[in-house]
Structure 1
Amino acid sequence: MSDPNSEANADAYSIREAVPDPETFVALREAAGLPSRSREGIERGLPNSVFGVTVVREPTGDPVGMGRIVGDGGTVYQITDIAVHPDHQGQGLGTRIMRRLDAYLEAQAPPRAYVNLVADVDGFYEAFGFEETRPHSKAMYRRTE
């Protein structure tokens, strides 16, 4: 395994401050094993993102990772859609995505804003200051048909 902090590895990828296009969004979610979303929802939702990043492989520019922030841009932010293509996992890209999203929040979110996420990886998000909501609250969800 290559060292995710090596300069050569860092040069192999760049992070663009841009929400992925719908095709990239679908492809990366599928490759990473995340649940699918409707095309209508994707086309409506992506332009409403507060902030997003897309990781590309250099020099080809092929998208291999993404992450975005949704919310009202003032009181509530949710980190979502963090995905790295399996062929590029283990390179520190998830950490680089989170650092970029976190930097945006530190610079733009007003004091006392609520930032949340749904964690599907144990131990990863805690390094960025996230903690479980229980016992103060519990996260819930519902999907539309």
Structure 2
Amino acid sequence: MIITSPAFKNGQSIPRKYGYKNENSSPPLLIDKIPEGTESLALIMDDPDAMKAVGKVWVHWVLWNIPSNTQEIKENSIPEGSVEGKTDFGEIGYGGPAPPDKEHLYIFKLYALDTKLDLGQNSIKTDLEESMKNHILAEAKLEGRYAP
């Protein structure tokens, strides 16, 4: 499985408009080579570099029950039927990059699951990870960088 974005290349800078303090629009994402038997997809976007600044990996987006035939997540939208959870901003939905100190790495992790998840909208990353256990068929990653 492969996840890419037409807005930035893997390992490159995420455009400013996707930042939390700018337009806070979620970037467009393209999904390819979804494995057979996939019932749904899930996405986690987080910032491991926040550990040094705020003492934890900062969660920017959790999204699940993405339909298994999804090939594109359009900019600033989610596929019909998908559910967004709560970020570390305390908000439901996408929360863009907002590094407090220096350039940070942001990781979009996509999971192909053999089931749909029964999670409420107030769920957080740890709830999603727990629900996905023993259901992951494949994983893909896209990394981007963002500086204040």
TM-score category by the smaller chain? under 0.3
TM-score, normalised by the number of residues in structure 2: 0.27
Structure with bigger strand share is: 2
Choose 1 or 2 for highest CA Rg: 1
